[in-house]
Amino acid sequence: MPSRLRSRKRPGRRRNTGAAIRLQSDFVPAYANLADLYRALGREPDAATALADGLKAVPDDPSLAHALGLQRVREKGVADALPLLERAAVARPDNARFAYVHAVALESLGRRAEAIAVLTRALERSPYDPDLLFGLSTFNREAGHLPEAQDYARRLETVAPDDERVR
Protein backbone atom coordinates (compact mmCIF):
# COMPACT_ATOMS: atom_id res chain seq x y z
CA MET A 1 0.00 0.00 0.00
CA PRO A 2 1.49 3.40 -0.92
CA SER A 3 2.56 5.45 2.09
CA ARG A 4 0.36 8.39 1.16
CA LEU A 5 -2.70 6.19 1.53
CA ARG A 6 -1.56 4.74 4.82
CA SER A 7 -0.84 8.11 6.41
CA ARG A 8 -4.07 9.72 5.31
CA LYS A 9 -6.31 10.53 8.26
CA ARG A 10 -9.71 8.98 8.39
CA PRO A 11 -12.54 11.44 8.83
CA GLY A 12 -13.72 11.49 12.42
CA ARG A 13 -17.26 11.46 13.68
CA ARG A 14 -17.25 15.24 14.14
CA ARG A 15 -16.15 15.77 10.54
CA ASN A 16 -18.82 13.36 9.26
CA THR A 17 -21.47 15.03 11.37
CA GLY A 18 -20.38 18.47 10.18
CA ALA A 19 -20.59 17.27 6.60
CA ALA A 20 -24.08 15.91 7.23
CA ILE A 21 -25.16 19.28 8.61
CA ARG A 22 -23.66 21.12 5.64
CA LEU A 23 -25.40 18.77 3.21
CA GLN A 24 -28.75 18.84 4.95
CA SER A 25 -29.06 21.58 7.56
CA ASP A 26 -32.41 20.27 8.79
CA PHE A 27 -31.09 16.77 9.62
CA VAL A 28 -31.84 16.72 13.34
CA PRO A 29 -29.86 13.55 14.25
CA ALA A 30 -26.63 15.21 13.07
CA TYR A 31 -27.01 18.01 15.63
CA ALA A 32 -27.91 15.56 18.38
CA ASN A 33 -24.97 13.29 17.53
CA LEU A 34 -22.56 16.22 17.44
CA ALA A 35 -23.83 17.40 20.84
CA ASP A 36 -23.43 13.86 22.24
CA LEU A 37 -19.87 13.73 20.95
CA TYR A 38 -19.00 17.07 22.52
CA ARG A 39 -20.61 16.05 25.80
CA ALA A 40 -18.60 12.79 25.81
CA LEU A 41 -15.45 14.87 25.33
CA GLY A 42 -16.40 17.10 28.25
CA ARG A 43 -17.09 20.04 25.96
CA GLU A 44 -20.48 21.07 27.34
CA PRO A 45 -20.47 24.61 25.83
CA ASP A 46 -19.85 23.14 22.37
CA ALA A 47 -22.65 20.64 22.93
CA ALA A 48 -25.00 23.50 23.80
CA THR A 49 -23.90 25.41 20.69
CA ALA A 50 -24.53 22.39 18.46
CA LEU A 51 -28.05 22.00 19.87
CA ALA A 52 -28.77 25.72 19.61
CA ASP A 53 -27.57 25.71 16.00
CA GLY A 54 -29.85 22.77 15.32
CA LEU A 55 -32.79 24.57 16.87
CA LYS A 56 -32.09 27.60 14.69
CA ALA A 57 -32.03 25.38 11.61
CA VAL A 58 -35.11 23.38 12.64
CA PRO A 59 -36.99 25.65 15.05
CA ASP A 60 -40.05 23.42 15.32
CA ASP A 61 -38.22 20.26 16.36
CA PRO A 62 -39.26 19.34 19.92
CA SER A 63 -36.46 16.81 20.41
CA LEU A 64 -33.84 19.52 19.91
CA ALA A 65 -35.71 21.86 22.26
CA HIS A 66 -35.83 19.07 24.85
CA ALA A 67 -32.14 18.22 24.42
CA LEU A 68 -31.13 21.87 24.67
CA GLY A 69 -33.34 22.22 27.76
CA LEU A 70 -31.52 19.32 29.41
CA GLN A 71 -28.21 20.87 28.39
CA ARG A 72 -29.25 24.15 29.99
CA VAL A 73 -30.17 22.32 33.19
CA ARG A 74 -26.62 20.94 33.30
CA GLU A 75 -24.99 24.29 32.48
CA LYS A 76 -27.10 27.13 33.78
CA GLY A 77 -29.94 25.76 35.80
CA VAL A 78 -33.57 24.86 35.60
CA ALA A 79 -34.95 28.39 35.22
CA ASP A 80 -33.07 28.83 31.92
CA ALA A 81 -34.15 25.41 30.74
CA LEU A 82 -37.85 25.62 31.59
CA PRO A 83 -39.05 27.43 28.43
CA LEU A 84 -37.31 24.87 26.22
CA LEU A 85 -38.63 21.91 28.19
CA GLU A 86 -42.14 23.36 28.09
CA ARG A 87 -41.85 24.02 24.36
CA ALA A 88 -40.92 20.38 23.73
CA ALA A 89 -43.69 19.03 25.97
CA VAL A 90 -46.35 21.22 24.35
CA ALA A 91 -45.18 20.35 20.83
CA ARG A 92 -45.22 16.61 21.57
CA PRO A 93 -48.07 16.00 24.01
CA ASP A 94 -47.86 12.28 23.20
CA ASN A 95 -44.30 12.08 24.56
CA ALA A 96 -44.59 11.15 28.23
CA ARG A 97 -40.87 11.68 28.83
CA PHE A 98 -41.05 15.30 27.68
CA ALA A 99 -44.00 15.91 30.00
CA TYR A 100 -42.26 14.23 32.93
CA VAL A 101 -39.07 16.26 32.54
CA HIS A 102 -41.09 19.47 32.15
CA ALA A 103 -43.00 18.66 35.33
CA VAL A 104 -39.83 17.89 37.28
CA ALA A 105 -38.43 21.25 36.20
CA LEU A 106 -41.60 23.02 37.34
CA GLU A 107 -41.56 21.23 40.68
CA SER A 108 -37.91 22.05 41.27
CA LEU A 109 -38.79 25.72 40.83
CA GLY A 110 -41.50 25.44 43.49
CA ARG A 111 -44.35 25.27 41.00
CA ARG A 112 -45.75 21.97 42.25
CA ALA A 113 -49.40 22.58 41.34
CA GLU A 114 -48.40 23.26 37.73
CA ALA A 115 -46.20 20.17 37.74
CA ILE A 116 -49.11 18.03 38.93
CA ALA A 117 -51.34 19.53 36.22
CA VAL A 118 -48.76 18.75 33.52
CA LEU A 119 -48.43 15.15 34.72
CA THR A 120 -52.18 14.71 35.02
CA ARG A 121 -52.72 15.82 31.41
CA ALA A 122 -49.89 13.58 30.23
CA LEU A 123 -51.32 10.61 32.13
CA GLU A 124 -54.55 10.95 30.14
CA ARG A 125 -52.52 10.17 27.01
CA SER A 126 -50.17 7.63 28.60
CA PRO A 127 -52.10 6.04 31.48
CA TYR A 128 -49.54 3.29 32.11
CA ASP A 129 -46.36 5.34 32.10
CA PRO A 130 -44.40 4.53 35.29
CA ASP A 131 -42.58 7.88 35.39
CA LEU A 132 -45.82 9.84 35.20
CA LEU A 133 -47.37 7.71 37.94
CA PHE A 134 -44.27 8.04 40.12
CA GLY A 135 -44.18 11.80 39.62
CA LEU A 136 -47.85 12.17 40.48
CA SER A 137 -47.48 10.00 43.55
CA THR A 138 -44.44 11.91 44.77
CA PHE A 139 -45.66 15.43 44.00
CA ASN A 140 -49.09 14.75 45.51
CA ARG A 141 -47.47 13.33 48.65
CA GLU A 142 -45.26 16.42 48.93
CA ALA A 143 -48.34 18.63 48.47
CA GLY A 144 -50.11 16.80 51.31
CA HIS A 145 -52.62 15.11 49.00
CA LEU A 146 -52.13 11.69 50.53
CA PRO A 147 -55.17 9.85 49.10
CA GLU A 148 -54.19 10.91 45.57
CA ALA A 149 -50.55 10.00 46.21
CA GLN A 150 -51.56 6.54 47.42
CA ASP A 151 -53.83 6.02 44.42
CA TYR A 152 -51.01 6.82 42.00
CA ALA A 153 -48.60 4.64 43.98
CA ARG A 154 -51.04 1.71 43.75
CA ARG A 155 -51.38 2.27 40.02
CA LEU A 156 -47.60 2.35 39.69
CA GLU A 157 -47.37 -0.94 41.58
CA THR A 158 -49.89 -2.50 39.19
CA VAL A 159 -48.12 -1.18 36.09
CA ALA A 160 -44.54 -1.82 37.22
CA PRO A 161 -44.53 -4.20 40.19
CA ASP A 162 -40.74 -4.67 40.05
CA ASP A 163 -40.00 -0.93 39.94
CA GLU A 164 -38.07 -0.12 43.14
CA ARG A 165 -39.80 3.28 43.31
CA VAL A 166 -42.97 1.45 44.34
CA ARG A 167 -41.51 0.98 47.82
Q: Give me the domain span that covers residue 66.
A: 13-92
**117 and 84 within one domain:** no
Could you tell me the pTM of the whole model? Answer: 0.82
Query: For residue 155, which of 121, 103, 52, 165 has the smallest C-alpha distance?
Result: 165
Mean pLDDT per segment of 10 residues, for the chain of length 167 residues? Answer: 39 51 67 89 91 91 95 90 97 97 97 98 97 97 97 95 83
pLDDT value for 149: 97
Residue 25: its pLDDT value, please?
A: 63
Separation in Å, CA 70 to CA 38, 50, 119, 134 = 14, 13, 18, 20
Is 1 a domain residue?
Answer: no
**Is 4 a member of any domain?**
no
* Overall residue count recorded for the chain in this entry: 167
